[in-house]
Amino acid sequence: MNRPDQTEYAEYYEKYISLVIENHIVAAMQNQLDELQHVFASIPEEKGNFSYAENKWTINELLGHLIDGERVFAYRALRFARADQTPVEGFEQDDYVANANFNSIKLTDLVEELSLLRRANILFFKNLNAEMQIRKGTASNAEVSVRALGFIMVGHIHHHLKILNERYLAQ
């Protein structure tokens, strides 16, 4: 599945798509899965509730946000790949995190959950035919293609891994 062109997503998502260096989304998803497992394997369980500043997410909450994002973007991709044209509303990330209780979940369990979701999404995107890849739908009041959603998923995690490395792990 090739990189989407800029007509396939809202300008807002360029900040995520531009972070994806690979041109094929399945390879990018697999490479990122390996990176995720490596990065989080180096973080001790007791650091899961660490936050780099007041009113910022903990590492567990950041990881929980990645899980929520993976689910939401994959759901949108599923709907649009199946030619469902019903618009999909956005989601308020801070409300999701505030109501999830991620800090009571073991870091290793959150990593496993994200890994399993990503493995399922790799298979989903791998098996989309050319027509399904370019189908579009409306999410958060903007048109987006299925393949753009795959790149957004990978770019979203790249964005947050950069924050994790710079603000949480550099402490």
Answer whether 52's CB lies under 8 Å from 165's CB: no
**171 pLDDT above the threshold of 90:** no
Q: What percent of the chain has pLDDT over 90?
A: 98
- pTM score of the predicted model: 0.96
**Cα gap 100→169, rounded to integer Å:** 23
In a domain, 155, yes or no: yes
In a domain, 137, yes or no: yes
* Each residue's pLDDT tens digit, 57-91: 999 999 999 999 999 999 999 999 999 999 999 99
- The beta strand positions in 15-117, using DSSP E, are none
In a domain, 64, yes or no: yes
Answer whether 73's CB lies under 8 Å from 152's CB: yes
Nearest to 12, CA basis, from 169, 155, 132, 160: 155
Query: What does the pLDDT read at residue 1?
Result: 80
Which residue segment(s) compose the domain that 140 sits in? 6-168
Cβ atoms < 10 Å from Cβ of 153 = 28
How many domains are contained in the chain? 1
In a domain, 1, yes or no: no
* Each residue's pLDDT tens digit, 9-37: 999 999 999 999 999 999 999 999 999 99
* Each residue's pLDDT tens digit, 141-152: 999 999 999 999
Return the CATH number at 76.
1.20.120.450
